[in-house]
Amino acid sequence: MSTIFFVLRGIFKPGFLFCLCILIASLDLAHAASGKYTIEAIQRIGLQANGLMQAARAQVDIAEADVVSAAALPNPEVTVMAGPDSPRLPEIDTGPASMQRQVTVSQPLENPFVRSARIGSAQAGVEASRANLEQVRADLAAQLRVRTYEFLLRRGLAEMESDIFNLMQEIQRRIKLSVDVGEVARFELIRADTEVMTAASRKEAAMLDTERARIALLQLTAGALEQGFDIEASLTDPVELPSLDALRADLPGSNPEILRLEAERDRASLRIEQERAAVLPSVDILYSNYQDKQFTSNTVGLSLRIPLFYRRSGEINAAISDAARVRETLDYRRFEVVRLLESAWQTMEIARRRVEMFEGGIVREAESALRVAETAFRLGERGFIEVLDTQRVLRNARSELLQARFELQAAAAEIDRLRAHYPKD
């Protein structure tokens, strides 16, 4: 599907943009209704339907709920006590019996340093969950893209094996006619029958591989695609990427795993601050009201908890070690992700050279050689063996070309995965 945007001065207003989005969505739906999907449409469908995406979104919701919990103020405690007085001496000495009641309210005063560190840690957890969601999206989008091109590869190999099978059938028919008129020995027909059965077996295996690739796509999209879907793409689709230097410079700010580890580093640092601040004494405000038959008493006080014997050294050391672990992991992953980018780039360049090599002459020369061998076979100048040899050379060349095209697209998908480049909502 190709969408043409007409950019005119002054027309990009909110209403126009909304209508434009509706138009693009309707075009995608029209292609889906016809059973043909672009790679971008398959990625969008998979990102909406896959269960792992739903689970990652739920993790973001959980992290946002944790922020609400971290920002909540502590609740007061109310204690009510009541009961009768039972005199132990004669009533003439103590007076008549009475009821007494006592109400005590306790309100914790939260340490502001602990509170701010706890809220910041929860907010960093939200950023880590969002980065994790972005990573799941990028991984799934890349996997969908690779599986789509694998389906195109398997279908191309199946078409190639079908052409070879048709060629073997045609040669078998010609040899059978020659055997019937006594021009060649029956041994040639037996050899041709064997080659036809071999070609039929390879054709059937290639078709089964195509269906297996189709099932893998259905699995990744949770069955949202039609059973007999078709792909509106090709292994010859152009691969357009920024330069390696530009990708290397932008990678630290776009790679989801690096962003997630940075958020976890911030959360670990705030946890250290939270544990250190927890060493400070905590205070509760107390208010008590006491009533009996003769007196009413109102008292106000403070309850102070002092960490005198244990000053949370274990929790602080654990937080420091966890922060060091996250920091070391972040430094290593920054280095490793850049190396993965460079490796994927080199793989892409190697695949591009292989494609150019096979397209530049090997496949054409093998096709010309097969045509010459077929013509010579029909004229009786060459035997069946020469046709088989040239056909095998062409088959290997076409297989290598299809594989090289697939590896080129897979390497480009890996680069897009590392930089989280996929169709956004």
Tokens of 344: 């994927």
Exposure letters 74-101 (e unless 16+ CB within 10 A, then b): eeeeeeeeeeeeeeeeeeeeeeeeeeee
CATH 1.20.1600.10 given to domain 19-83+98-418? yes
162-166-169 Cα angle (round to 5): 135
CA distance 175 to 190: 10
Separation CA 362–CA 357 (nearest Å):
7
Closest CA to 155 of 114, 208, 102: 208
Q: How far apart are CA 111 and CA 403, in angstroms?
A: 63
Rg over alpha carbons for the chain, rounded to the nearest Å, is: 37
Q: Which amino acid is at 105?
A: V
Annotated domain spans of the chain: 19-83+98-418
Q: Tell me the C-alpha distance between 136 and 256, whole Å.
A: 9
pLDDT tens string, the chain, 425 residues long: the values are 333 333 333 333 444 433 444 344 444 444 444 578 999 999 999 999 888 888 999 999 999 999 999 999 999 999 999 888 777 767 666 666 678 899 999 999 988 999 999 999 999 999 999 999 999 999 999 999 999 999 999 999 999 999 889 988 888 888 788 777 776 667 778 878 888 899 999 999 999 999 999 999 999 998 888 888 899 999 999 999 999 999 999 998 999 999 999 999 999 999 999 999 989 888 999 999 998 877 889 999 999 888 888 888 999 999 999 999 999 999 999 999 999 999 999 999 999 999 999 888 888 888 788 788 878 877 766 667 777 778 888 888 999 999 999 999 999 999 999 999 988 76
For every residue of 119-151, DSSP letters joined together read: HHHHHHHHHHHHHHHHHHHHHHHHHHHHHHHHH
Pull the structure tokens for residue 275: 């544990």
User: From CA 63, how far away is CA 231, in angstroms rounded?
Assistant: 38
Cα gap 340→51, rounded to integer Å? 27
